[in-house]
């Protein structure tokens, strides 16, 4: 079975540019999570969807960040405009059901903003 798929795996962009990260959750999972990992702050939850609806976006750092889940098999995290401090590894994770907590992570996207 395919796990969580993320693309691209690496992204290098210049400050001010728009960045779009993509995620395909595990088939059948109906909860999707976006995390950011940095040395300074560790793993932080950015936003969480259930049945394609955003449930908690309190972790989204600024209005420059937005996330969508147009259908059960696809989600995007967009940063516009990007800044050097956005450089991090962004992970997508998915889980099944409202009461099942096992989250399965994708391989991550390493973002570098110069």
Partner 1 sequence: GENVEQHPSTLSVQEGDSAVIKCTYSDSASNYFPWYKQELGKGPQLIIDIRSNVGEKKDQRIAVTLNKTAKHFSLHITETQPEDSAVYFCAATDQTGANNLFFGTGTRLTVIP
Closer to partner 1 by Cβ: residue 14 or 56: 56
Contact status: 25 vs partner 1 (CB under 8 A): no
Beta partners for residue 89, in sequence order: 37, 110
According to CB under 8 A, which one of 1, 2, 42, 53 is a site residue for partner 1?
42
The residue among 46, 45, 95 whose CA lies nearest residue 67 is: 46
Long-range own/partner contacts, residues 63-68 (CB < 8 A, 24 or more apart): 67/34
Contact status: 106 vs partner 1 (CB under 8 A): yes
According to CB under 8 A, which one of 31, 36, 60, 82 is a site residue for partner 1?
31
Instruction: Report DSSP state, residue 26.
Output: P
Nearest distance, CB of residue 91 and partner 1, angstroms: 5
Contact status: 72 vs partner 1 (CB under 8 A): no
Contact status: 55 vs partner 1 (CB under 8 A): yes
Count other C-beta atoms under 10 Å from residue 114's C-beta. Answer: 10
Closer to partner 1 by Cβ: residue 27 or 100: 100
Return the structure tokens found at 74: 């696809």
């Amino acid at each position: 079975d395919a796990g969580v798929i993320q693309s691209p795996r690496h992204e290098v962009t210049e400050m001010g540019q728009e960045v779009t990260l993509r995620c395909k959750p595990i088939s059948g999972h109906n909860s999707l999570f976006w995390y950011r990992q940095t040395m300074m702050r560790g793993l932080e939850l950015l936003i969480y969807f259930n049945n394609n609806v955003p449930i908690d976006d309190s972790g989204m750092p600024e209005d420059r960040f937005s996330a969508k889940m147009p259908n059960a098999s696809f989600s995007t995290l967009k940063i516009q405009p990007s800044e050097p401090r956005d450089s991090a590894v962004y992970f997508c994770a998915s889980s099944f059901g409202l009461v099942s907590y096992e989250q399965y992570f994708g391989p991550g996207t390493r973002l570098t903003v110069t």
